Each structure stands twice: as structure tokens, then as C-alpha cells.
Amino acid sequence: MKKSTPKLVVAGITSLYFFWCAYDPYQWHLIDGVNLVIHEAGHIIFSPLGEFLMIAGGSLFQVIMPALFVGYFCYQRKFYSASLVLFWVGESILNVSVYAGDSVALQLPLLGGQDSVHDWNYLLTSLNLLSATAQIAGAIRLLEPSLLRWRRLFDWFAKRESDD
């Protein structure tokens, strides 16, 4: 298959951007604004399922939404596009791990200010797991490197078939 220079450039820039996000996940990145809107929408979407799932829904939807795009591109056999969007899924998972890790320190600024409920503090307190915050945040963070293996699989498919 002939390699597309523009696709290689986009893949390279995308890779560098998301590796930068992974290198310093505590810093605010451009895509975090998109993630924040999706996160907040998740609370609304999951609200009919009760308080616990409404609060968990923010983080869940923040990961589900980009994963839906990956699924769509795979269904359309656009593996290059799926591969690029998979970085977004990974960055969302890192973002959630940072938020979960803050459930004891409560240092991250929240959208609603000081009177807001910290999602992960509420969730882990409800499950009596607040003392396991570091382990839970670490486990969430470990999900991200496994996505790189999926990305390699998409790359392999992309080499076998033409894309856009």
C-alpha cells in the first residue's frame, strides 16, 4: 500500500500531541475543553439512572463518547481514522485517572466552584473505597497503554486496506 504523506504528518502531529498530554496529564490541554463538555453532558444523560450513576456518568461518558467514534470508524473500515481517535480515548482515560486520583486531596478546580460535589470523592466514599484512591486511579491509568496495542492492530488493518 502506498503511504500517504499527509496522513503520516497528521498521525505524527497527533501522536506528539497525545504523548505530550500523557507526559503531563495534570496540565490543561486543548482537548480537555471538549472532554469537559462531554463529561458534563454525561451527568445529564445518566441522570435518569439514579444519583450514583448520574455522578459516575460524567467520567463514563467522557470515555464512551470517543470510543463510539472509534467504533463508527471501525464499522466504516476507516482504520486510520479509528487509530487517530483512539488517542482521544486514551487521553480521556488519563483525564479520568487524574480526576479519580484527586478524590482525597480535592485540589482540582471544579466547574461549579467550591460548593460542587467532586465526582470521584462521592463515588469512592459511597463504595467505601476512598482509602484505595491511589490504587484505583493507577488502575484506570493502566487502561491507557493497552489502547496502544489496539492502535497497532488498527494500523495493521489500515495497511491491508485502503482508507478515506
Task: Check whether 161 has a pLDDT greater than 70.
Answer: no
Predicted structure pTM score: 0.85
For the segment 27-51, the average pLDDT, to the nearest whole number, is 94
- Residue 34 is predicted with a pLDDT of 95
Find, among 88, 100, 103, 102, the residue nearest to 144 by Cα.
88
- Residue 164 is predicted with a pLDDT of 45
Task: Check whether 32 has a pLDDT greater than 70.
Answer: yes
Q: For the segment 80-106, what is each residue's pLDDT rounded down to a tens digit?
A: 888 889 889 989 999 999 999 999 999
Please report, for the chain, the start and end positions of each structural domain, with discontinuous segments joined by +. Answer: 30-106+114-160
H-run or E-run covering 13: helix 5-23
Q: What is the overall mean pLDDT for the chain?
A: 87
Angle at 132 between CA 126 and CA 137, to 5 degrees: 100
- Residue 152 is predicted with a pLDDT of 65
SS3 content of the chain, % helix, strand, coil (to 5): 75, 0, 25
Task: Check whether 117 has a pLDDT greater than 60.
Answer: yes
- Residue 135 is predicted with a pLDDT of 97
Q: For the segment 42-66, what is each residue's pLDDT rounded down to a tens digit?
A: 999 999 999 999 999 999 999 999 9
- Residue 148 is predicted with a pLDDT of 63
Rounded Cα–Cα distance for residues 93 and 95 (Å): 5
